[in-house]
Amino acid sequence: MKIIDHIKQSESTLFSFEIIPPVKGKSIQQLYDNIDPLMEFKPPFIDVTTSREEYIYINKGNGLLEKRLTRMRPGSLGICASIQNRYQVDTVPHLLCGGFTKQETEYLLVDCQYLGIDNVMALRGDARKEERRFEQTEDGHAYAIDLVRQIQDLNQGSYLHDVIEISCDVDFCIGVAGYPEKHEESPSMASDLRRLKEKVEAGADYVVTQMFFDNKKYLEFVKQARDMGIEVPIIPGIKPLATKNHLKLLPQTFHLDLPEDLVQAVEACKDNKAVRQVGVEFCIAQCKELMAHGVPVLHFYSMGKSDNIEAIAKAIF
Ligand code: FAD
């Protein structure tokens, strides 16, 4: 079922979350162990991220290292299928421009169709670690909007090689990313919002935001988006802060501000167990306020561990 239909059919705020595929070679069981306790809160959908390829260095044993390009967390679509099968819940694979040709994207979409996956997130992806800026993959897309257009073309029955006879309907519901604190590369908030509007006009059905800790920023973002005519659901992305290291890591990685009261509360903690508790309490208050504003879904970035999200969900749903 489409995310937008889940939202339309619900009279209250829904619960959903995002998971990251395990590093290859690791069992999927750990993922299930983290998903199991969250199923009690009836997520209508679970997102599965996709990782870019990266360079790894293999020790050749003779003092030399061999540099190889590989994808360390493959299998997003396989995980989507296994989750759908195990939990009877919709899954949302993340599709990236970076690292994928248009043809590979088409194959992924065809697989999605066969697997009964109705929703996809269309994302550009970040630059590879060793690149200073995002480099378009050869025969791939430059921006998420191009990916949205490709998916929409397919929804209209137009494949890359327009020589096939269409005998079945494809109608993916498309999610895109939005940034309450502006995307790091964007010259201004207004310009970033204009780009978001273009993605929606190209066919995106809903937006999921980057994580934020200051609700005012999300609410202002939604207001600005509405003022410029973006009418699709804007789902807040939520991340409970969990370690002292997050004070540096989250602003650095996701280009966001942390509220000063949260920073001070975390700094006063003796250990990460105490930080996790502070993060949970802060997040409960944040979620309650967002629910009071009638947000359609609270979408949690689980990043592999679910105990804190379970505690938060218990308090608010
Ligand atoms: P775009 O919408 O393409 O925007 C990228 C930048 O280009 C922005 O600054 C935008 O303003 C600008 N821009 C857009 N169109 C144009 C244009 N035509 N001309 C000039 N500038 C333009 N990353 C992963 O690798 N895997 C994931 O699974 C993943 N999941 C995510 C889920 C969510 C909810 C979010 C918010 C982010 C996720 N990301 C993921 C991170 C995302 O890939 C990065 O933030 C990336 O840098 C931008 O992706 P985008 O889709 O927003 O790009």
Q: Residue 281: its pLDDT value, please?
A: 98
94 lines ligand 1 (CB under 6 A): yes
Q: What angle do CA 12, 16, 19 make, to 5 degrees?
A: 175
Span from the CA of 97 to the centroid of ligand 1 (angstroms): 9
In this prediction, residues 130-137 reach a mean pLDDT of: 91
**49 Cβ below 6 A of ligand 1:** yes
Query: Would you say the CB of residue 71 lies under 6 angstroms from ligand 1?
Result: no
Q: What is the C-alpha end-to-end distance of the chain, expressed in Å?
A: 22
Q: How far is the CA of 176 from the centre of ligand 1 (A)?
A: 8
Weakest mean pLDDT among 32-36, 44-48, 68-72, 87-91: 68-72
- In the predicted structure, residue 176 carries a pLDDT above the cut 70: yes
Per-residue confidence at 132, pLDDT binned at 50, 70, 90?
confident
Cβ neighbors of 2 (< 8 A, separation 6 or more) are 118, 119, 173, 205
CA 63/CA 234 separation, integer angstroms: 52
Q: How confident is the model at residue 131 (pLDDT cuts 50, 70, 90)?
A: confident
d(CA 208, CA 293): 16
Contacts of 170 (CB under 8 A, 6+ apart): 109, 113, 154, 155, 157
Q: Tally the residues of the chain.
A: 317
Output the DSSP codes for 37-62. Answer: GGGGG--SEEEE-----EEEEEE-SS
Read off the amino acid at residue 131.
E
Residue 173's SS3 state is strand
pLDDT of residue 169: 80
Q: What is the pLDDT of residues 93-102, one digit of tens each?
A: 999 999 999 9
Structural tokens at position 265: 């509360």
Is the pLDDT at 137 greater than 80? The verdict is yes
- pLDDT given for residue 241 in this prediction: 96
CATH architecture of the domain 3-316 equals: Alpha-Beta Barrel (3.20)
**Stretch 177-191: mean pLDDT:** 97
Task: Find the 96 Cα to ligand 1 centroid distance in Å.
Answer: 9
The tens digit of pLDDT for each residue in 256-307 reads: 999 999 999 999 999 999 999 999 999 999 999 999 999 999 999 987 789 9
Average pLDDT over residues 19-31: 93
120 lines ligand 1 (CB under 6 A): no
For residue 30 the two structure tokens come to 């750990």
pLDDT at residue 166, rounded to an integer: 73
Q: What positions carry a catalytic annotation?
A: 18
The residue extents of the domains of the chain are: 3-316
What average pLDDT score do residues 152-179 get? 88
Helix (H) or strand (E) holding 96: strand 90-96
Query: Residue 129 — very low, low, confident or very high, per pLDDT cuts 50/70/90?
Result: confident
Cα of 67 vs centre of ligand 1, distance in Å, is: 27
Ligand 1 pocket check for 186: Cβ under 6 Å: yes
Exposure on the CB side of residue 238, measured as CA atoms within 13 A: 30
State the CB neighbour count (10 A cutoff) for residue 131: 11
- Mean pLDDT, rounded, of the chain: 95
Which of 123, 150, 200, 208 for a ligand 1 pocket mutation test, highest count of atoms within 8 Å of Cβ? 123
- For residue 259, list its beta bridge partners: none
pLDDT at residue number 133: 92
Q: How many other C-beta atoms lie within 10 A of the C-beta of residue 34?
A: 19
